[in-house]
Amino acid sequence: MGSPMLYLASKAIISAILIAAASEVAKRYPGFGALIASLPVVSVLGMIWLWHDRPDATNMAAHAQATFWFVLPSLPMFLLIPGLLRHGVGFWPALAAGCGLTILLYFAMVFALQRLDIAL
């Protein structure tokens, strides 16, 4: 790809198509849509784009390891949101609570990893 803007636009379009496809499938088949959404597509695409822009094994290894550590604190959100929804909490407040919990857990993860001398 010649121009940086065309490259950036291509990355955005490919990423958007995958997200849109997952949400469209989920309308009809929630479980299958969840499976698609749970695939590490964003992480894999991010690694592909990063490798294209900066093919550095050390940098890629650090990125992949940090991604692992940041996935863990995001997982409870996927239990909190359905729990709140099933107890009558509206979608937007449940989503906000899930995001808030994730942010708190991200800070806790960064703190814990620093104390364990694990670099992000």
pLDDT band at residue 11 under the 50/70/90 scheme: confident
pLDDT band at residue 22 under the 50/70/90 scheme: confident
Q: What is the pLDDT of residues 34-91, one digit of tens each?
A: 888 787 888 888 899 899 999 999 999 999 999 999 999 999 999 999 999 999 999 9
Q: Write out the residue range of the structural domain in which residue 4 sits.
A: 1-55
State how many domains the chain has: 2
Is 0.85 topped by the overall pTM?
no
At residue 35, the pLDDT reads: 82
61 and 78 part of one domain: yes
Amino acid at 106: Y
Burial bucket for residue 38 (CB in 10 Å: 0-12, 13-18, 19+): exposed
Other CB atoms closer than 10 Å to residue 73's CB: what's the count?
A: 19
35 and 79 part of one domain: no
68 and 111 part of one domain: yes
